[in-house]
Amino acid sequence: MGKMRRRVAQGIVRRRQRDVLCDVMLSARECETWLTLDELAKLTHYPPASISAQLRHLRKPQFGGFEVEKQQRTTGKILRGEDFGTVWEYQLRRPVRRIVGRKLRRRQRARLAPRAMSR
């Protein structure tokens, strides 16, 4: 019986915090919703400081190169426990794939050269 429990427990794959946060933020983007760190903490059960760090990581190219948009929350909205200071809300945008600093092969350069001359 003990051996069966170990096998079942090993089959569980835990998702990384960054992946969970990315999914939540992209879902919110589809609904055109902006979320504060406190709201994200309540949705994901991760601390706000950790969420802030993961948002910084999501900007890096090796973690997706997402654009993290940030704006000040308007005072007209109800702020539960956040009514002091500036409250920021965030939204995640999928990156635009750009090729920067890549060397072209000879074939690619040959294809591009006639186009440049024809203009």
Tell me how far apart the alpha carbons of residues 80 and 57 are, in angstroms, rounded to a whole number. Answer: 28
81-100 confidence digits (pLDDT tens):
555 678 899 999 988 766 65
pLDDT reading at 27 higher than 70: yes
pTM: 0.64
Domains recognised in the chain with CATH numbers: 2-118 (1.10.10)
Angle at 35 between CA 41 and CA 57, to 5 degrees: 70
39-97 confidence digits (pLDDT tens):
999 999 999 999 999 999 999 999 999 999 999 988 665 556 555 678 899 999 988 76
Asked if residues 36 and 87 have their Cβ atoms less than 8 Å apart, the reply is yes
